[in-house]
Structure 1
């Protein structure tokens, strides 16, 4: 779930940056009334569903429905209700915009899934890097301190310090089981992995069975477990989970996933420009009308926002998730290699699947638990299968590099067409 929430919040930020900035001559009283009605409608629907249906297999489906509804309301807020028009007149507008979407997400998590306020800290923590990037850039803009390459400098600084700040925000406590703590630290030392601290996530109102390592540099690198996960696993199974996380570290999966997330706006920008090129080719008169009016019809504006969500969904569901699943499988594979046996991680996965009722359920981002167990059972059968799996993971990295290079090449080719871009300059200034 934490993975999914990170993606949702990142997508909300991208939509805010891409959505057109226009204003419409609509009564303020009508807009305020519509805004209040929309907020109460959203909360009312959540409360009705929460009261009527509270079965896990329905809740997971309804969660996705309400997240989709959150994006639709968010687009209406930014475009039809002119939120972005007003926000863009002030500094830190992107910060306010993404926090506004956060209120929709928190309502879904709090009212529908019954998480506590602690989960708000989780949400704030995972979106913190983007918030810091916006804050840094706006502060430099206020004081006219802009320079070439500032974005990448900010990005590097934020990647380094964010884990420390995230841990300060998250509802965590140091692991107080001294025996288990010693076992984990010795295992990490044996595998030459340095971390600053081991944390346990406090009660979130709904049980999460998760673990992870955040951070890139040892002084700001932390291992964390959810309390429910520790309660069901033996020390050997916990080491299986830790070995899985070590696998992520050894193969730098966090870095590759960061590249994929940063590639999403480039992917959307490429398709957006291509769409305008196609529109210009088939209907130049429509482009001229939009350029002359300096605005978009509200229907076209909302359609553009929904189109961005659809394209982002395609990217996340079929491209990002493909690589994410391969990385999870590779981490499972490395866990078995590190422990010289797949049994600890298999046993841990089986327990998680049984207690959550998701043993045979498919997963778009991690593979299903049963699928992962079956893979691990066959991974170390003989040297031929072992080598075949290793070659597959190498091919995955090559495909990932080619994908990123393809996106960069496409955007450069498009921008090279200066004669067409000149025709689109005014149009792009209206809609981006």
Structure 2
């Protein structure tokens, strides 16, 4: 009998353009390939979701999903061997519905991902703490520590009851230990696909690209560079953080091209020569850096949180001043963009320097990829399951 995994995530499953939900989707896909019975309960997109048409049944079907609705109007679909139920996770009945789903499915393992509403974890623990694994992709949703958006001592205590906690970076592992008193297991997720990877980086053509342009991800630095290099083509790929004001600011610049987000990152990066990742908040792990570097595309990144870790030793980490939250408002300090301008200028103007950096980035990323094999996750589950009487 197949080992059944139920992922509970308070984020949309498909399409998944954010780092955490994309990592979950690709993990579940790869575990399904390895013979696991993989199922997901995910959030139903709300009306405020950016570009809501991509979540319509016909759009999901175009991505290869087999979609249907049950008698209660809930959306179910199967995608790449994974069964998904999309539900309103904010509904008053959400906890009761989850209880019924878990009792019906009776999974061997429950993965609870970024449960910022504190709905999933209580239900999972009530079914079986021994089978519950907390997955941490972002510190914003943690119930403790300086990066949390909302402290929740009860949810913090619930995390202590789970069988295991999985994180995606050393930065995150140290954060949980320092601020939460929690030990966690570092597992790299299979986010980047399979080799071979085309070399996309070219010193003489292509965009300088930023994915998910918004204030938190470093939009002020991006716009400053756009304005200081008027003869260079820049590209922006709006996802969850791009509101109307961001889109308007980008469209006001004649040297910025807006690109559609895509399930396959190679589609976005095929015409890119440099990626900018100037996040003004700590990242747990910046997946886009590895995505770009494995294709020979140099990345200029801010040095907050796990972004440094994601650069894999490549020394293109540049200074940023993190945003501050006061009285419920986000305040953006002025940014010293001189180092960004200087580094970008050299990459754009010195082809030999570009080629050297491109080769070093690709070498580092290819060396990192074996850590992201989903079999590491499968072996970890097998080790956890060795406890007598668990199954």
TM-score norm. by structure 1 comes to 0.26
Structure in which a larger fraction of residues adopt helix: 1
Larger Rg: 1
Structure in which a larger fraction of residues adopt strand: 2
